[in-house]
Structure 1
Amino acid sequence: MISDIYAVYVKGYRTRSQDVEEGICQVLAHMWLSSKLILGSNVASSSTSTSTVLKRGTGSQYEKKLGEFFKHQIESDISHVYGDGCRAGQQAVHKYGLPSTLNHIQMTGCFPP
């Protein structure tokens, strides 16, 4: 997933509108949070290294609740740029998949219809 984020900014992507740029970032953030919560990994701890978390494979209840809170914030954002952009991005990813959506953004600067 980090390589997907890198690709959006480095590999010749066209100029995007702010809602497309921030929307796809929110989609990727939501996907990352979801994967961490499903795996039971540490979502947000500055005191625990990533390697320790991956070895341990569990996060605290606090970290899980914090992850759910951030997911909810992404899902319920009412702003045009972040909220609407994320919802349009999620719809595109659900319909076409992440690689195809990113390819379409790269070619057109917009989400696929």
Structure 2
Amino acid sequence: MDPEDCKPLLDEVHRFFKGLNMKIRYYIPILLVDQEEIIRIHKKSILGSTIYEKFELDAVNYVSKSIQRGENVEVVKEVEQLPPGRKVRAVLLLYGFPKLAIGSTLAHELMHAWMRVQGYRGLALNIAEGLSQVMAHKWLEWQSFTGDDYMKGTSEKAQFLRNLKEFMKDGIERRYSEAYGHGFREAKWAVERYGLIYTLKHIARKGKLPE
């Protein structure tokens, strides 16, 4: 996905949160970064991250636009100074993936941001990551009803996008790790049984998922 497509996608994910009565009333810079920058910041390659107030990072080299030159793509970078003292200073997304992948990652990271802004602190890793994976999964499901029109057609591209969506949902559902896999399945069970808002309120009070 090109950087110029990021703003419409961000608006789309914000509409998704608003539709769940979880509107994010807080400005958060959303920045596409290349793998070199992700590794510089986190010492490993990851698809996305949420930068909180205590993270020691003053600026991010983000991809502002891309230029097609034959078979190669040249990226143009700019520097974004991160505001100090804010609960959530930025969300970083790894550049170069298709919209569905970046959108689900953005939904995941914005859930982390939403919880931080709402005052959720000290959550167990499997709860925080599990809930964020639930939001990524829900966003992919949401695409079936409100996604781009070209995803609903009969063309090869439309079928490819539908297959990609199902592949990504299946990847979330089958993930093996404790936090992202088991945590997702536990959080999904709670949300399906009690509803998302009740589950979040219970976690805010008790610090754990409802049983």
Identify whether the pair has TM-score above 0.5, normalized to the shorter chain: yes
Task: Write the distance in 2 (CA, Å) between the matches of 1:58 and 1:9.
Answer: 35
Answer yes or no: is 1:58 the counterpart of 2:156: no
Task: Write the distance in 1 (CA, Å) between the matches of 2:160 and 2:184.
Answer: 26
How big is the alpha-carbon RMSD for the aligned residues of Structure 1 and Structure 2? 1.6
Answer yes or no: is 1:68 the counterpart of 2:166: yes
Deviations 1:45-103 (A, max 9, x none): xxxxxxxx3xxx23121111111111000111111111110011011001110000111
Do 1:33 and 1:71's aligned partners in 2 also have CA atoms closer than 8 Å? Answer: yes
From 184, 190, 193, the counterpart of 1:86: 184
- The match for 1:98 is 196
Task: Write the distance in 2 (CA, Å) between the matches of 1:65 and 1:25.
Answer: 22
Rg larger in structure: 2
Answer yes or no: is 1:18 the counterpart of 2:107: no
More helix by share: 1
Deviations 1:11-40 (A, max 9, x none): 111310110000000111111101102x26
Do 1:8 and 1:106's aligned partners in 2 also have CA atoms closer than 8 Å? Answer: no
More strand by share: 2
Higher normalized contact order (CA 8 Å, seq sep 6+, divided by chain length) = 1
Paired-residue identity, %: 36
For structure 1, the residue ranges without an aligned partner over 5 or more in a row are 42-52
- The match for 1:111 is 209
| Structure 1 outlier segments of 4+, above 2 Å | 1-7
Normalised to the residue count of structure 2, the TM-score between the two structures is: 0.43
Normalised to the residue count of structure 1, the TM-score between the two structures is: 0.78
For structure 2, the residue ranges without an aligned partner over 5 or more in a row are 1-15, 23-110, 152-157
